[in-house]
A = this chain, B = another copy of it.
């Protein structure tokens, strides 16, 4: 039997998994991400943890197919990361370094793209070959899978849809410097922003309060039939649905998989996104499915492993 490792390096923890060659998760664990000193310890820590696990399980290098790694940054085809704010990295030949440290073959990918591959393999996109994954978390990210392969793009930034321009009237600036980016409406923080704006102007009774509103509170209130919350969700869905109609024109997926913290609201989300999507989508792509991500925190390690086991 042969094995591989799937690694998902985040800004606070590194999630790691040992997989069998047919894709089963044999073991998973986490280590802390040490971002100090430009994150210089991160790859040595990952390497040590992998070598340690191989020792513990008595696996020789000959039976380990390689290490797949997702990182929060664009990654070039040859595994170079040219800066990652979350990890403290500047220019780093990540693939080369990890291969040198472990003696194993390594492959790096952008974390959102890798998570998309994971969801296609074992999650919300199971059985599909053309998928767009949309991650609604602190920010908005995404990944595109075309004919079973990750679309990386020229800068490893394909699928990074958070800064698509969706509103000409936005007075507040996005973190990126532009105005009216999708992330300003469809991320967890974007939903809170929409809610606060709404609650300021709308004097109807509602379960929501300006001070304590969260994305989760909005969708909980939607489930309870709160009319104000429904209108906030509609606004969220309108921006996101319209953006996805544009993305579908470019990528022609068979399924959208919605993941990230906001997706924990559950199926209640889907119609708010799907209705405006269908309104604007070209007829050939109106019937694209919408599903929720199912792998949660495992999407990254699964997609990383899949990079090694073969897309």
Contacts and interface: CB of A to CB of B under 8 A. Distances in A.
A252 B160 contact: yes
A160 B253 contact: no
B161 A249 contact: yes
Interface in A114-132: 128-130, 132
Given A160-B252, A251-B251, A155 B246 contact: no
Contacts of A163: 249, 282
Given A178-B280, A280-B165, A250 B159 contact: yes
A151 interface: yes
Chain A at the B interface: SS class: loop
A243 interface: yes
A177 interface: yes
A186 to B, nearest CB: 13
Contacts of A249: 160-161, 163-164, 247
A181 to B, nearest CB: 8
A242 interface: yes
Nearest to A287: B155
Given A146-B146, A160-B252, A251-B250, A155 B284 contact: yes
A151 B283 contact: no
A254 interface: yes
A20 interface: no
A146 B160 contact: no
Contacts of A129: 154
Contacts of A284: 74, 155, 157, 160
Interface string A166-202: 0000000000111000000000000000000000000
Interface residues of A, number: 45
Nearest to A282: B163
A144 interface: yes
Query: Which of A128, A160, A246 counts the most chain B CB atoms within 10 A?
Result: A246
Contacts of A253: 153-154
A51 interface: no
A152 B160 contact: no
Contacts of A160: 249, 252, 282, 284
A151 B251 contact: yes
Query: Which of A176, A253, A285 counts the most chain B CB atoms within 10 A?
Result: A285
B283 A177 contact: yes
